[in-house]
Structure 1
Amino acid sequence: MSAPASSAPAASDFELDARLAADSVFVADGPLSQVRLMDDTRFPWLVLVPRVADVSEWIDLDGGQQRLLLAEINQLSQLLRVEPVVTKLNIGALGNIVRQLHVHLVGRHPGDAAWPGPVWGSGQAQRFAADALHERVAAWAQRLR
């Protein structure tokens, strides 16, 4: 995930919402966004968080930033789609609880813990064991190189 330096936002303006930090783990920096893994073993679940200060809606991004975010969504979607058991992708930017713009990308399949309903608000997160979380993050970081 690389892009021309001129299109990358100033990282000093970006501050990750504490709730996103608590529920997910940093994987990599993309051209615009942090790529994060949700700490929930029930679903292959990534989150893109644009490194742009004070942005809560897609329309708050300028055209170049919107194109970068769309490219990141497309790249991660292609990678999620080939994960074992994934037959459907759920992609969403809700923002009702965490206002900071972030895009969820969730791999789904019939019989998963929330199927056919949404993952948001469905049961309790099943946290990864520390070693499994480290391995999962490392695997995603490798795939994004």
Structure 2
Amino acid sequence: MSEQFKLAEQLENDCYVLADLPLCQLLLCNDSAYPWFILVPRVTDVQDIYQLDWQDQQQFLNESSMLSELLMQEFAGDKMNVAALGNVVPQLHVHHVVRFKTDVSWPKPIWGQQALTPYTVEQVEVIKSRLLPKLSAITEQK
């Protein structure tokens, strides 16, 4: 991991930083329409997963899988969408969105379907209190 890591400005503006995992920074997208989280490897000058070194690719897959499983358990979704687009924000970041057959965009992708619905400070704190202790317990076991 690079000491010069800096989160892309648009991600800083659109998300809450929740935690630092061994490789990635975990963000909560400020859209309460979906449980929408983003993993950003703390590595500079990387736009795509294949550009990570082999060990970081493996660590990323571990963190992404662990996060996906935890989110599906916590939010009881119908489907986990994991996507790395990078067309607007080139810094490597991977979306993890819990989808429900009842959500406003189902079955379409979430992008461009509706305006973001920001969280209240209280809602963000509830999400943190639900997820962060479980994330800590998992990462401390490793």
Contact 2:84 2:95 survives alignment (8 Å): yes
1:42-53 alignment, distance < 5 Å: 42-53=33-44
Structure 2: state its 5+ residue gaps: 137-142
Alpha-carbon offset, residue 121 of structure 1: 1.6
- 2:124 aligned partner: 133
Whole-angstrom CA distance in 1 between matches of 2:24 and 2:89: 16
Whole-angstrom CA distance in 1 between matches of 2:4 and 2:112: 30
1:62-73 alignment, distance < 5 Å: 62-73=53-64
Alpha-carbon offset, residue 126 of structure 1: 0.7
Question: The residue matched to 1:90 in structure 2 has which SS?
Answer: strand
Whole-angstrom CA distance in 1 between matches of 2:21 and 2:37: 13
Question: The residue matched to 1:14 in structure 2 has which SS?
Answer: coil
Question: The residue matched to 1:144 in structure 2 has which SS?
Answer: helix
Whole-angstrom CA distance in 2 between matches of 1:130 and 1:122: 24
- 2:134 aligned partner: 143
Whole-angstrom CA distance in 2 between matches of 1:95 and 1:72: 19
Whole-angstrom CA distance in 2 between matches of 1:137 and 1:83: 12
Aligned residue pairs total 136
- 2:10 aligned partner: 19
- 2:89 aligned partner: 98
Contact 1:33 1:69 survives alignment (8 Å): yes
Question: The residue matched to 1:36 in structure 2 has which SS?
Answer: strand
Question: The residue matched to 1:53 in structure 2 has which SS?
Answer: coil
Contact 2:35 2:75 survives alignment (8 Å): no
Alpha-carbon offset, residue 83 of structure 1: 2.9
- 2:32 aligned partner: 41
Alpha-carbon offset, residue 134 of structure 1: 2.2
1:44-123 alignment, distance < 5 Å: 44-123=35-114
Q: Which amino acid aligns with 1:99?
A: P
CA deviation string 1:37-67 (max 9, x = no partner) = 1111111111000000011011110000000
Alpha-carbon offset, residue 72 of structure 1: 0.5
Whole-angstrom CA distance in 2 between matches of 1:44 and 1:83: 10
Contact 2:47 2:86 survives alignment (8 Å): yes
Structure 1: state its 5+ residue gaps: 1-8
Whole-angstrom CA distance in 2 between matches of 1:63 and 1:121: 34
